[in-house]
A and B are shown apart, each in its own frame.
Chain A
Amino acid sequence: MIDYDLSIKHAPDEGGHFGEYGGRFAAETLMQPLKEIEDAFFSAWADPSFHEERLDLLKNYVGRATPLYHAKQLTAEVGGAQIYLKREDLNHTGAHKVNNTIGQALLARRMGKKKVIAETGAGQHGVATATVAAMFNMQCDIYMGREDIRRQAPNVFRMKLLGANVIPVDSGNATLKDAVNEALRVWVASCEDTYYIFGTAAGPHPFPLMVRQFHTVIGQEARKQCLEQAGRLPDVAVACVGGGSNAMGLLHPMWDDEEVRLVAVEAGGHGLNSGEHAASLAKGKPGIIHGSLSYVLADNEGQISADAHSISAGLDYPGVGPELAFMMKQGRLDLDSATDDEALEAFQILTKAEGIIPALESSHALAAGMRIAATMEQDQVVLINLSGRGDKDLGTVMDLLGFDDEGKS
Chain B
Amino acid sequence: MSKRLAEVFARCEAENRSALVGYLTAGDPSVETSEKLMLGLAEHIDIIEIGLPFSDPMADGPVIQAASERALAAGTHFDDVLHIAMRIREKYPNIGIVLMGYANVPYTIGFEAFAQRASAVGVDGVLLVDIPAEESALCADIFKQHDLSQIMLLAPTSTEERIQLAADAGDGFIYYVSLAGITGAEMGEVAKIKDKLSLIRQYSKLPICVGFGVKTTEQAADLASFADGVVVGSYFVSQITSNTNAEDVIVDNLSTSASALASAMYKAI
Contact = CB atoms under 8 A, between A and B. Distances in A.
Q: Do A and B interact with each other, yes or no?
A: yes
Contacts of A185: 58-61, 182
B131 A29 contact: no
Contacts of A188: 59, 180-182
Contacts of A304: 55-56, 104
A158 interface: no
A189 B186 CA distance: 11
Chain A contact residues: helix, strand, loop or mixed: mixed
Interface string A29-56: 1111100000000000000000000000
B155 A28 contact: yes
Nearest to B185: A189
10 contacts: A23-B135, A25-B103, A26-B132, A27-B155, A29-B177, A172-B69, A188-B180, A189-B185, A286-B107, A300-B109
B134 interface: yes
Contact of A172 (B56, B60, B131): B56
Interface stretch (A109-117, A287-295, A348-356): A287-295
Contacts of A62: none
Contacts of B155: 27-29
Interface of A: 15, 23-33, 171-172, 177-178, 181, 184-185, 188-189, 191-192, 285-291, 293, 296, 298-304, 306
B148 interface: no
Given A185-B61, A303-B54, A25 B162 contact: no
Contact of B104 (A15, A30, A302): A302
Q: What 8 A-B pairs come out closest when comparing CB atoms? A: A302-B108, A189-B181, A302-B104, A29-B155, A28-B153, A302-B105, A288-B103, A303-B55
Contacts of A303: 54-55, 72, 105
B135 A25 contact: yes
Given A189-B181, A302-B105, A27 B162 contact: no
B158 A32 contact: yes
B129 interface: yes
Which of B102, B135, B185 has its CB near the most chain A CB atoms (within 10 A)? B135
B247 to A, nearest CB: 26
B159 interface: yes
Chain B contact residues: helix, strand, loop or mixed: loop
Contacts of B60: 185
Interface in B50-66: 54-62, 65
Given A28-B132, A184-B58, A288-B103, 7 more contacts: A26-B132, A31-B158, A31-B162, A33-B157, A178-B56, A286-B107, A301-B105
Contacts of B57: 181
A25 B56 CA distance: 14
B56 A289 contact: yes
B237 to A, nearest CB: 16
B213 to A, nearest CB: 11
B207 interface: no
A285 B60 CA distance: 25
